[in-house]
A and B are shown apart, each in its own frame.
Chain A
């Protein structure tokens, strides 16, 4: 079973991963966007770890809801509301249980991803974060490691796609041949989840 501390460590791992990969995310974004994805997520997840430490929410749902609200209030751009909604919806779906199981988490994450699709209007294949998140949620039934692999493969599979949502879509065919920065950061978030679970021996 996964408790509030597990989710806090997931967010801390995500923040560390975004820190490490910020330059890469920004480089991907400068090819087909506006060169700020890494620094924006860095600012957001730094604020997330700070607020989680300060307010110390004591259920898994409360951790993710607070993290999502903090992303909305600090990131801006499209990624703030989209990542914020992903975590907030997932958190709300987890309810106020003190501990949740993997199946519950998978179902809640699916609600979170549905919330992102509804808000941003993107579908699989549009070259967005959805292309990493949907396969990850589908694979979560087979375990955290499978979800990580699915998210990474989903992100890599965005390279030949033409963007139909977000800023890259303005480039038309010129967006082809570049990996989507949002799908890449989504894969980092899922990898951080898998890393946290593996460190726990889950």
Chain B
């Protein structure tokens, strides 16, 4: 598999150097792998720190900036960062108002963020945590590591980030983040596997004419393989999987998210089908976002995330944000 890289060992560092060059509002520590908004710490505001394996860009580094994350910690490709990174990030962004860790529910991320919280608390930093676990494809949470954190991470980081930017206290920012996670569900499909730089070949073998239903964001196979379906059939399957798990009581935020290698032309067409299914099911749509936000390297495919949003969550969603990947209102 051809890749636009120098050597696999330096892909993460190379990308960080490139981000530093592209975004002067970010302070990128390439050696310690921490991306911090340049104006941090912001007085009187709770700071948001997230992180996870690389390969999901623009998540999380692309969401650092006003109204969203204060810092992001990229690990190796598909590997959680180490506790030292998050502890360093927390120390860099804490204004004294406390730090909220936003953690996707994977064994490694949870363990490393827990260890980081201990390190930060030893330094006198107040730390709270929101766990994101929105993926309905993991049905049997009792006998697995639990539902994975996927597309809802964007909703949690944006909405909790807006609450923090308003100067709300840590416990309130934390409860907003938890509420967004509890109100969100996702389902993803893959038309191709992805290729990690270290391995150099696809992570699983998906024959032409077949697709994987219920994938995560780490190139792991899904729960089920079927003959290829049309965009409309996939939308029916994905939206119904989400609605079955969470019959919505209020208008929803919709994220139609590309996995990395699906063209926007296809994604917008897929969004039209998602909106059709939602109409047929009587679900009101408050806002829609379409694009590649929570990706899985060069995987082709898409995920659908719905978040039930009351007036307050909608207001925070609409609040100004200025990050490399998400920007409106300023």
CB distance from A41 to the nearest CB of B (A): 11
Q: Which residue of B83, B137, B144, B196 is within 8 Å of A36 (Cβ)?
A: B196
Please, how many angstroms separate the alpha-carbon atoms of A79 and B76 in the complex?
Answer: 13
Instruction: Answer yes or no: B220 CB below 8 A from chain A CBs.
Output: yes
Q: Which residue of B79, B80, B107 is within 8 Å of A165 (Cβ)?
A: B107
CB pair B82 A72 closer than 8 Å: yes
Comparing B20-28, B108-116, B253-261, the segment that makes contact with chain A is: B108-116
Instruction: Answer yes or no: A78 CB below 8 A from chain B CBs.
Output: yes
CB distance from B71 to the nearest CB of A (A): 17
Q: List A53-106 residues whose CB lies under 8 Å from chain B.
A: 72-82
CB pair B84 A165 closer than 8 Å: no
Task: Please give, as numbers and ranges, the residues of chain A lying within 8 Å of B219 by CB-CB distance.
Answer: 34-35
Excluding A76-B53, A77-B76, A78-B108, 4 further A-B contacts by CB distance (< 8 Å) are: A30-B199, A36-B79, A80-B111, A172-B144
CB pair B144 A78 closer than 8 Å: no
Instruction: Answer yes or no: B140 CB below 8 A from chain A CBs.
Output: yes
CB pair B84 A73 closer than 8 Å: yes
Instruction: Answer yes or no: B203 CB below 8 A from chain A CBs.
Output: yes
CB pair B221 A120 closer than 8 Å: no
What 1/0 mask marks residues of chain A from 162 to 183 whose CB sits below 8 Å from any chain B CB? 1111110111101000000000
A85 nearest in chain B by CB position: B111
Known: A77-B75, A166-B107. A33 touches B144 (CB 8 A): no
Q: Which residues of A contact B (CB under 8 A)?
A: 26, 30-36, 39-40, 43, 72-82, 119-120, 162-167, 169-172, 174
Q: List B258-302 residues whose CB lies under 8 Å from chain A.
A: none
Task: Please give, as numbers and ranges, the residues of chain B lying within 8 Å of A164 by CB-CB distance.
Answer: 143-144
A162 nearest in chain B by CB position: B143
Please, how many angstroms separate the alpha-carbon atoms of A39 and B111 in the complex?
Answer: 19
Task: Please give, as numbers and ranges, the residues of chain B lying within 8 Å of A119 by CB-CB distance.
Answer: 111
CB pair A120 B107 closer than 8 Å: yes
Please, how many angstroms separate the alpha-carbon atoms of A82 and B80 in the complex?
Answer: 13
Tell which of A80, A82, A163, A165 has the most Cβ of chain B within 10 Å: A80
Known: A33-B220, A40-B76, A167-B220. A73 touches B111 (CB 8 A): no
Tell which of B75, B77, B198, B219 has the most Cβ of chain A within 10 Å: B198
What 1/0 mask marks residues of chain B from 7 to 24 whose CB sits below 8 Å from any chain A CB? 000000000000000000
CB pair A76 B76 closer than 8 Å: yes
**A-B pairs with lowest CB-CB distance, top 5:** A169-B144, A78-B108, A77-B108, A81-B111, A78-B107
Please, how many angstroms separate the alpha-carbon atoms of A176 and B291 in the complex?
Answer: 35
Task: Please give, as numbers and ranges, the residues of chain B lying within 8 Å of A77 by CB-CB distance.
Answer: 53, 75-76, 79-80, 108, 112
Please, how many angstroms separate the alpha-carbon atoms of A188 and B36 in the complex?
Answer: 39
B51 nearest in chain A by CB position: A76
CB pair A76 B221 closer than 8 Å: no
CB pair A36 B204 closer than 8 Å: no
CB pair B199 A82 closer than 8 Å: no
CB pair A79 B108 closer than 8 Å: yes
Instruction: Answer yes or no: B81 CB below 8 A from chain A CBs.
Output: yes
CB pair B199 A120 closer than 8 Å: no
Please, how many angstroms separate the alpha-carbon atoms of A162 and B223 in the complex?
Answer: 13
Tell which of B81, B82, B112, B204 has the most Cβ of chain A within 10 Å: B82
Task: Please give, as numbers and ranges, the residues of chain B lying within 8 Å of A165 by CB-CB distance.
Answer: 107, 144-145
Instruction: Answer yes or no: B106 CB below 8 A from chain A CBs.
Output: yes
Task: Please give, as numbers and ranges, the residues of chain B lying within 8 Å of A82 by CB-CB distance.
Answer: 111
Instruction: Answer yes or no: B129 CB below 8 A from chain A CBs.
Output: no
Please, how many angstroms separate the alpha-carbon atoms of A120 and B82 in the complex?
Answer: 16
Please, how many angstroms separate the alpha-carbon atoms of A48 and B76 in the complex?
Answer: 18
**Pairs A–B under 8 Å by Cβ, sample size 29:** A32-B220, A34-B218, A34-B219, A35-B203, A36-B77, A36-B78, A36-B79, A39-B76, A39-B198, A40-B79, A73-B83, A74-B82, A75-B79, A76-B75, A76-B79, A77-B108, A78-B80, A80-B82, A80-B112, A81-B108, A81-B112, A120-B107, A162-B143, A167-B216, A169-B145, A170-B144, A170-B148, A170-B220, A174-B223
CB distance from A89 to the nearest CB of B (A): 14
Task: Please give, as numbers and ranges, the residues of chain A lying within 8 Å of B163 by CB-CB distance.
Answer: none
CB pair B78 A170 closer than 8 Å: no
Task: Please give, as numbers and ranges, the residues of chain A lying within 8 Å of B204 by CB-CB distance.
Answer: 30-31
Task: Please give, as numbers and ranges, the residues of chain A lying within 8 Å of B81 by CB-CB distance.
Answer: 76
CB distance from B136 to the nearest CB of A (A): 12
Task: Please give, as numbers and ranges, the residues of chain B lying within 8 Å of A40 by CB-CB distance.
Answer: 76, 79
CB pair B145 A170 closer than 8 Å: yes
Instruction: Answer yes or no: B34 CB below 8 A from chain A CBs.
Output: no
Instruction: Answer yes or no: B64 CB below 8 A from chain A CBs.
Output: no
What 1/0 mask marks residues of chain B from 38 to 68 whose CB sits below 8 Å from any chain A CB? 0000000000000001000000000000000
Task: Please give, as numbers and ranges, the residues of chain A lying within 8 Å of B144 by CB-CB distance.
Answer: 163-165, 169-170, 172
CB pair A30 B108 closer than 8 Å: no
